[in-house]
Amino acid sequence: MNDFIITQDGSNTLYSKKYNQHFHDVDTGAIKESLTKHVIPALEIKKDSKTLRILDICFGIGYNTFSTIYYAKKNNLNIKFEFYSPEFDEELIKSLSTFSFPKEFDDIKEIIQEIALNQKYKDDNLEIIVHIGDAREYIKNLNNIDIVYQDAFSAEVNKELWTVEYFKDIYNACNQDAVLTTYSVSTPIRLSLYEAGFFIYEIKPVKKKQTLAFKHLKEIDAKYIDMELKKTRNKEARALYDNK
């Protein structure tokens, strides 16, 4: 169901024949994309936290979870992590025992094996729960989330993970100070987030722009995107809804 692909930075990803999309941006590279678009922007904001509850949408090959652990160890961040990550594809998770990950993950091989075998891992400072099932149902039961890595396939093929109704459940699962990271910069997606209650910011960590979203206005090093102004300038743009 998935083809094996080597990306620009030498790390490996997959091409999904079910969704007709790569799991990562091949030109950026799998681990580089994970670090620059999700992990570093989120942990820069949250680096002084004692514990972080992270919702990783969706687990896939696990780069966002594994890169977070790698980055936190490398930078001596003294944070306890809890990861919650839904994923439809149980066979994919099992196959991670033989997936060829980048050398950056060499120190966490045991964790990867444990995830592949049991879909969970726990030690004193780290807990990972991979939930085999539909993200839409799973997120309804979460609370106090500090970081959301919104890294589904694009809305053309994975619409259920980009709608206003979906983002409302994400909003409710998040604590007041939560940050959501996503590669998407499209106006319909930003409108979906905005209609669900989020404020929108833009950063450009590498070549491409990307989106951060928060429950409140923030004093941060990012460009605030005024969605009311966007709506007046782009009258055609619409948020995505489940049944439209």
143, with CB counted inside 10 A (0-12, 13-18, 19+), is exposed
Which residue number, 87 or 169, has a Cβ lying nearer to ligand SAM? 87
Q: Is 29 in the site for ligand SAM (CB under 6 A)?
A: no
Instruction: Supply the minimum distance, in Å, between the C-beta of residue 13 and ligand SAM.
Output: 7
Return the residue of 29, 41, 62, 102 that touches ligand SAM, per CB under 6 A.
Answer: 62
Return the residue of 88, 199, 215, 218 that touches ligand SAM, per CB under 6 A.
Answer: 88
Tokens, residue 244: 């439209």
Instruction: Supply the minimum distance, in Å, between the C-beta of residue 30 and ligand SAM.
Output: 7
Nearest CA-CA partner of 107 in 154, 144, 67 = 67
Task: For residue 153, give the amino acid letter.
Answer: F
Which residue number, 155 or 237, has a Cβ lying nearer to ligand SAM? 155
Instruction: Supply the minimum distance, in Å, between the C-beta of residue 226 and ligand SAM.
Output: 29
Which residue number, 91 or 226, has a Cβ lying nearer to ligand SAM? 91
- DSSP states of 111-141 as a string? HHHHHHHHSEEE-SSEEEEEEES-HHHHGGG
Contact 211, 182 (CB under 8 A): yes
Q: State the angle between helix axes of 187-195 and 164-173 in degrees (0 to 180), rounded to the nearest 10.
A: 50
Q: Is 101 in the site for ligand SAM (CB under 6 A)?
A: no
Instruction: Supply the minimum distance, in Å, between the C-beta of residue 59 and ligand SAM.
Output: 6
Task: State the Cα–Cα distance between residues 190 and 240, nearest whole angstrom.
Answer: 10
Task: State the Cα–Cα distance between residues 201 and 185, nearest whole angstrom.
Answer: 10
Q: Is 151 in the site for ligand SAM (CB under 6 A)?
A: yes
Distances (CA, A) of 106 to 9, 110, 204: 17, 9, 29
Contact 194, 231 (CB under 8 A): no
Applying CB under 6 A, the span of 47-55, 128-136, 183-191, 208-216 interacting with ligand SAM comes to 128-136
Q: Is 199 in the site for ligand SAM (CB under 6 A)?
A: no
Please provide the size of the chain in residues: 244
Q: Is 112 in the site for ligand SAM (CB under 6 A)?
A: no
Which residue number, 159 or 230, has a Cβ lying nearer to ligand SAM? 159
CA-based torsion, 49, 33, 226, 155: positive or negative: negative
Return the residue of 69, 145, 152, 196 that touches ligand SAM, per CB under 6 A.
Answer: 152
Q: Is 147 in the site for ligand SAM (CB under 6 A)?
A: no
Q: Is 95 in the site for ligand SAM (CB under 6 A)?
A: no
Q: Is 58 in the site for ligand SAM (CB under 6 A)?
A: yes
Binding site for ligand SAM (CB under 6 A): 23, 58, 60-64, 86-89, 92, 134-136, 151-153, 158, 160-161
